[in-house]
Chain A
Amino acid sequence: MSESDPILQVKKLIKTFEGKLVLNGIDLDVYKGKVIAILGPSGCGKSTFLRCLNGLEEVQGGDILLENKSLVNKATNWRLVRQRIGMVFQSYDLFPNLTVIENILLSPLKVQKRNRQEAENQALELLERVGLKDRADDYPRQLSGGQKQRIAIVRALCMNPEIMLFDEVTASLDPEMVREVLEVIEQLANQGMTMIIVTHEMNFARLVADEVVFMEQGSIVEQTPAEQFFTKPKTERAQQFLNILQF
């Protein structure tokens, strides 16, 4: 693999659910260090698409290549892939039975079998970066939604993934907490993390994304550099979508 090859390639991805076509031939190349924002109306398949990349959904056709290696076959060890592709969800999905630090260390210690001291140092450093180092021993129920979501991001980062997937991570937050979470993601973008972000926050997408993928009804309608998408989208449909949101 050369430097210029995409780290993640999606080819003609097909996903059906109970006979209904949810993803209809998605093609996407993700290059290292790039941030891709996936936009589109609700139910267009953008979340499902992200979940396919992480093996949470079975796909019915096409291929996903991680560093030129196909993931769409029975031999794929998704547990290994998931250590390389981290994911954060919309729901605050911390484990309520574990403290913040235990949540973060679970996978590095049990899955990756890393040294506790080393993993803990990294966890605390990451917590410090998101401003929550003092909450390490709290339980999730003691935290606000925004704090939980920042910790969920830290938890995914602590596995040292090469790619991060964000599935509408601010969609169920109170408005005043959206910013603190988005700032963390922006920080990541500045550090050169490869990310695919499904979001409804247009200003945020415009700020952090290199490229915008606009989806509708299971297909990619257009794929445009972010700045161009928001000023002069290629398709009529994307223009309509933006107009509605600019109320």
Chain B
Amino acid sequence: MLNSAINVLFEGKNMYRLIEGLLVTLKIGFIAVVITMVAGFVIGIIRTSKSRMVQLPFRIYLELFRIIPILVWLFVIYYIVPANFDLSLSSETVALIVFSLWGTAEMSDIVRGAIISLPKHQLESSKALGLSIVQMYRFVLIPQAIKRVIPPMINLITRMVKTTALLTMIGVVEVIKVGQQIIEVNSSHHPTIAFWVYGILFFLYFCICFPLSQLSRKLEQKWAV
């Protein structure tokens, strides 16, 4: 029984569809990560400002994404926003919006933390040398902060890839959705199919996330001061 069910994975277009689903997962993940890295860096730098007027709105934004589960954000934007604002958003667009906003919030916190954790005398000696604020960030603070940013940033990317699993809830046909479809079609003839499908999903996620988390660990050790 177990053995015959595994063959279903290779029947027809099943494997191809799973890979296709995986590509959807990766595409959304990749675009959201790129937006996150760029926007997160910019907002992170802005958030090192000492002005409360600057800090407060970003702080609220960050907390909103920390406190409210991502799934709720997906539902809110997918179901509630279109119904009330006469907007039609595809599920993939909603996924990108929510993931980018969430990633950017987290990333900005990583960048801000890295910059403000630099020794204060780095800032003072930059000033004493007559550097402008922009020069100080560009030549002194950001290059030093990057080493502190990259390991947690890779962790964030891993989390974002894993969390794409939630997208199945708003109907994005990503890898888990495809898996569920294969199970539905085949489970009456092959009751053990779920075991194999989730097994391969496990394997696919592992292949993506494990190298990332290893890389982050390696860099952390290498750059530990």
Contacts and interface: CB of A to CB of B under 8 A. Distances in A.
Interface of A: 54-56, 78-80, 82-83, 86-87, 89, 91, 93-98, 106-107, 110-112, 152, 155-156, 159
A159 B144 contact: no
Contacts of A96: 144
A111 B130 contact: yes
Interface of B: 119, 121-122, 124-132, 135, 139-140, 143-144
Nearest first, the 9 A-B pairs at minimum CB distance are A93-B125, A107-B129, A97-B143, A82-B130, A87-B128, A111-B130, A91-B121, A93-B121, A79-B130
Nearest to A94: B125
B128 A56 contact: yes
A91 B119 contact: yes
A111 B121 contact: no
Nearest to A107: B129
Contacts of A56: 124, 127-128
Contacts, number: 60
A80 B119 CA distance: 24
21 contacts: A54-B128, A55-B127, A56-B128, A82-B129, A82-B130, A87-B128, A89-B121, A93-B122, A93-B124, A94-B125, A95-B125, A97-B140, A97-B144, A106-B129, A106-B139, A110-B135, A110-B139, A111-B132, A155-B129, A156-B128, A159-B129
A74 to B, nearest CB: 17
B124 A159 contact: no
Nearest to B124: A56
Contacts of A80: 130
Given A56-B124, A89-B125, A93-B122, A111 B131 contact: yes
B32 to A, nearest CB: 30
A79 to B, nearest CB: 5
Given A56-B124, A107-B130, 14 more contacts: A79-B131, A86-B128, A89-B121, A89-B124, A93-B124, A93-B125, A95-B140, A97-B140, A107-B129, A110-B135, A111-B129, A111-B130, A111-B135, A156-B129
